[in-house]
Amino acid sequence: MKPILLLSLLLAAPALADESAIKLQDAAGRDLVERNCVACHSLDYIPMNSPFLDRKGWEGSVTKMIKVMGAPIAADDVPGIVDYLVRNYGKP
């Protein structure tokens, strides 16, 4: 195998990581988050942003996903999603 090809394969390996390893906290509302959020991005977005977002931040993030990014989230699901994110991944 040519060294350039081998290097390319090695560098691409992290991009093939198994996203199923990301597990959200088991709590009320997790099903809403998994059902709605993974349609547009991986679940790692949630714990990755948790150190920075309080209730206002999570509300803004969910609103941005709907209004700016076009996420097809039903208005009835928003409170449950935000509550779950705040309780389990909100900044203290």
Mind listing the pLDDT tens digit for each residue in 13-42?
554 445 457 789 999 999 999 999 988 889
Q: Is the dihedral of CA 11, 13, 19, 25 positive or negative?
A: negative
Whole-prediction pTM: 0.74
What lies within 8 Å, CB to CB, of 78 at 6+ separation is 62, 66
| Domains within the chain, CATH numbers bracketed | 22-89 (1.10.760.10)
Mind listing the pLDDT tens digit for each residue in 48-70?
888 889 999 999 999 999 999 99
Calculate helix-pair angle for 78-89, 30-37, nearest 10 degrees: 110
The CA–CA distances, whole Å, from 87 to 1, 24, 46, 63, 82 equal 51, 12, 12, 18, 9
Query: In 10 A of CB 54, how many CB atoms?
Result: 12
